[in-house]
Amino acid sequence: MASCYVCGKGRIVGGNIVHRGISKKKGGIGLQLVKNTKRVFKANLQSMKIRDSGQVKRVKVCASCIRSNKIVKA
């Protein structure tokens, strides 16, 4: 399983929720839950070279760690 080298972010399990009907706000009787199927949410991982304790490594880092400058690019 791929995960971020810095923060450890990886896959999490969630659900695809399907509703049907018209909301009460629009004059209906409300939204009914029809189906809730399992799915996997994957982290936005990018493979890149970083400098870690004086050595250059090629690792997978998530986009949020890249944007927040938690790594030093090699």
Give the residue extent of every domain in the chain.
12-67
Classify residue 70 as exposed, middle or buried by CB count within 10 Å of its CB (0-12, 13-18, 19+): middle
DSSP 24: G
The string of pLDDT tens digits covering residues 5-64 is 999 999 999 999 999 999 999 999 999 999 999 999 999 999 999 999 999 999 999 999
Give the three-state DSSP class for 64.
helix
45 Cα distance to chain centroid: 9
State yes or no: pLDDT of 1 exceeds 90. no
Quickly count: other Cβ atoms within 10 Å of residue 44's Cβ: 11
40 Cα distance to chain centroid: 9
